[in-house]
Amino acid sequence: MIVILLGMPGSGKGTQSKRLAEKYGFQHLATGDIFRAEIAQKTAIGVKAQDYLKNGKLVPDSIVIEMVAGKIETGGKYLLDGFPRTIEQAQGLAEMLKRVGSAVDLVVFLTLPKEEAIRRMASRRTCSNCGEVFNTISRPTAVEGVCDKCSGKVVQREDDTEATAAKRLMVFEDLTHPLVAYYKSEAAFHEVDAAQTPAQVEAALSAVIDSAKASR
């Protein structure tokens, strides 16, 4: 089963994907996390991607498509988080899935008012060592600046600062939001209200996945 979580930055795709991957046994494929790891390791992809991430811009489609294609295997059960982000990536995804005899089964769009997305990004903090996500309002670390899980340094992501976050939302509207119309005609499509509590969003997403599984 191939599931795509669509949503603006700050809508909770990462948090929910981690929960659902664990619950249903999906492989969680988060392109943003992959890029951050590549940048930390100073790999060739990381070097190519770093300025785009820093400036809140999308990494060029060709780089992203090639990177994801290298991770998709026959029979894989994937939860895609942050990919595709453009129509061209969606087409690239369809092709790479076709090559392994698969297709997108379900697309869920996490909806959220823009002001709330900005508020969430401004209060989000991330462990620079293990990637665990905290929030100064809803999930602060026990000791300020120290990760509860690995004791790594917890910081604000460079692209979560106000100016870059606003830019990322514009990029979402221009390039990623058109995927809503695209997938409405291409795959099973659902919307979930991401302004609810994380537990409520998880329950709503689980209900959608359960019903998609039952109808397969």
In the residue annotation, 36 being an active-site residue is answered as no
Dist. CA 34–CA 187, nearest whole Å: 26
Which listed residue (18, 120, 124, 125) is catalytic? 124
28: left (phi over 0), alpha (psi -120 to 50) or beta: beta
Interface residue with ligand AMP among 37, 52, 152, 180 (CB under 6 A) is 52
Nearer to ligand AMP, 53 or 194 (CB): 53
User: Is 216 tagged catalytic?
Assistant: no
Q: From CA 87, how far away is CA 92, in angstroms rounded?
A: 9
Residues in binding contact with ligand AMP, number by CB under 6 A: 17
Specify the DSSP class assigned to residue 139: B
Any catalytic annotation for residue 99?
no
Footprint of ligand AMP on 157-176 (CB under 6 A): 159, 168
The answer to whether the CB of 105 falls within 8 A of the CB of 1 is yes
**By the 8 A CB rule, do 58 and 86 touch?**
yes
Beta carbons within 10 angstroms of residue 79's beta carbon: 25
Q: Which of 36, 85, 120, 125 is catalytic?
A: 85
Q: Residue from 4, 8, 39, 58 that binds ligand AMP (CB under 6 A)? A: 58
85 interacts with ligand AMP by CB under 6 A: yes
Q: Minimal distance in Å, beta carbon 216 to ligand AMP?
A: 26
Length of the chain: 216
Which positions touch ligand AMP (CB under 6 A)? 9, 31-32, 35, 52-53, 56-59, 64, 82-83, 85, 89, 159, 168
